[in-house]
Structure 1
Amino acid sequence: MDNATMNLRAHSSPDHRVVKQAIGWLLRLRNNTGNLKLHQQCEHWRTAHPEHELAWQRVQSLQQELTASLCAVPGTQVALHTLETSAQRLGRRQALKLLSGALLIGTAAWLGKDQIGWQQWNADFATATGERRGYQLPDGTRLRLNTDSAANLDFTAQQRLITLARGEIMVTCGATPQAFERPLRVQSHHGMFEASVARFVIRQDNDCTRLSVTRGSVAILAPRSADGTPTLVQAGQSYLVTPEHVTLAPPLAMEAGAWVDGLIVTRDMRLADFLKEVNRYRRGYLACASGIADLRLSGVFRLEDTDKLLAILPRTLPVQLRYRTRWWVTLERQA
């Protein structure tokens, strides 16, 4: 079943027994990659109920994040191979225990992200670092998640609510019968947003949430403006939201929703800020020397291979790349 068209029920939270079934299927398929009949049986199980598909997607996402995390840390290749070999020799019960232990280890293995793996496990929708996904919600709303993002869905007879746990999303909602009876709301750590017919991007950072509207209008319900009314944000506008204040945002040095198409589109952007943005899509350390931090660049950069993206920079700026490891990259002034 396609992720983009998966019809998830409200309060999607698969039963732990279904999650164990999904892990069981994952282990069996990993040990029998060429077994077409087994793949067909797994596909039949996934399509039998929306809860099965949701559990499968969560297990797949977390397994990919675990593998990427372990592979990204030098010296863990042997440990990962041992883990896989041991899982193949164990029975189903022991393999489940081993995989559970691996999940605990893997989510803490890379750059202190000990909570992110479990957020991804618990979230209704989630992406790993460098991954982008799209979903169609039961009411027809289109939800897109940027890199390293997570969101939860709470659709009932009384409300339509998306809660952004971390990262960045683009929401496209249309004129449906429930659009005006139950306007779509998005909750971030810093505020509450409401829309009926609109397309908008919400990015949640540590200190604030940025709302950028590209079509229609979005109301910021909380916090309220100085006169106690919601702030109405029109297409082309961006606002910064903290728990206390709502302020008009300065112009962006990049296109807010370009990541949906796998792009970073910059306009006279500082090199240091550009590298910080690119680093959201890759693991490890990426920075530049202070002497070149204020160099400016404009252009369209593709995100599918960040190493190729970085290789372009010395052609347009007086900089050179220095790779200490695959995961530790700095830019210095060209000699």
Structure 2
Amino acid sequence: MASITPAILRQAAEWHVLFAAGEGSQAEHTAWQQWRAANPLHEQAWQQLAALTHRLQPLPAGMGQQLLQQQQGRRRTLRQCVMLLGCLGAGWQGWLRLQPGAVMQSVQADAGRRQRVTLADGSQLVLRAGARVQVSYDPQRRLIRLLAGEVAIATASDRHTPYRPLQVETWHGHITALGTRFTVALADGHTAVAVQEHAVHLQPWSGGAGLILQAGEHGQLATQASRLAQPPDASTPDWVSGRIVVVNARLGDVVKRLAPHYPGALLCDPQAAALPVSGAFSEDKPQASLQAIVATLPVKIVRRGPFWTLLTLR
């Protein structure tokens, strides 16, 4: 009979820490619910922790309310959680051993904007708009927990002794980097993984067989790890660099992608929005992209002050 693993216990504890510290967003509440439903052992671990605290019910609306009212910081919340976990026996002790000296941070990309982050070891993250991660380094490993959206990761060599593997966790399993560049995205019912350089190892929480993905391969984590049957593609996704590459796309859709990066409001009237457009544009240089569009399509720019711009037919 399957039993609760230290990894599942650690997940339950970190969800508790997130909500008790008052940092949980609506997307994270949804992710937490999906994590609980993904595996009966997840729910069992959560209920064990909830039974100890008596503060996490009703859920999710009243989650951690007493703790939130006390305005406790993350470190204090972690210490309390560690004390609670100690009551659950040897399995929790595996989680506790990872915590001394841990460095934790949360990173979120606002709607419409990418977020670039350099971690303490030199690894590079690019969060797609709306993504959120938690990063935790301890003496055993470098952990990135993906809570929402998609993230691109370029790993750096760890100078710590002993060497610490870099892992990405979602509610479906964990991905271990084998010296690599890769992307991880949360999707309906699974985690999608694409490798641009070297390789990664996928391991589902269900205890099923793991899988190694090589450069150019795509895979997913659900109850099992699987390799997707599609042609090899080792290219970095366009969103990582901020490129918008389109062929016969609607102008309105391109403008929507440029709008969050443009100073003020950028709009497109319905007639102009229906025009087909092809080309490569840059989210990081929205004004230059707009000029390129005007040079190739029968549209013009109408401005009303410095913060209102409209694309309309000539």
> TM-score band (shorter)?
0.3 to 0.5
Instruction: Give the alignment's TM-score, normalised by structure 2.
Output: 0.47
Greater percentage in helix: 1
